[in-house]
Chain A
Amino acid sequence: DAGVTQSPTHLIKTRGQQVTLRCSPKSGHDTVSWYQQALGQGPQFIFQYYEEEERQRGNFPDRFSGHQFPNYSSELNVNALLLGDSALYLCASSWRDGYQETQYFGPGTRLLVL
Chain B
Amino acid sequence: TQLLEQSPQFLSIQEGENLTVYCNSSSVFSSLQWYRQEPGEGPVLLVTVVTGGEVKKLKRLTFQFGDARKDSSLHITAAQPGDTGLYLCAGPGGGSQGNLIFGKGTKLSVKP
**A interface residue numbers (CB < 8 A to B):** 4, 31, 33, 35, 40-45, 48, 50, 55-56, 58, 90, 92, 94, 96, 100-108
Contact = CB atoms under 8 A, between A and B. Distances in A.
Interface residues of B, number: 24
Given A43-B43, A107-B40, 5 more contacts: A44-B102, A56-B99, A58-B93, A102-B97, A107-B41
A102 B43 contact: no
Contacts of A50: 98
Nearest to A33: B98
Nearest to B96: A101
Contacts of B105: 41-42
A100 B104 contact: no
Nearest to B38: A107
Interface of B: 4, 31, 35, 40-45, 48, 88, 90, 93, 95-105
Given A42-B88, A42-B104, A45-B93, A102 B98 contact: no
Contacts of B93: 45, 58
Contact of A96 (B4, B31, B96, B104): B96
Contact of B102 (A33, A43, A106): A43
Given A42-B104, A42-B105, A102 B99 contact: no
A40 B31 contact: no
Interface centre among B35, B40, B96, B102 (most CB of A within 10 A): B96
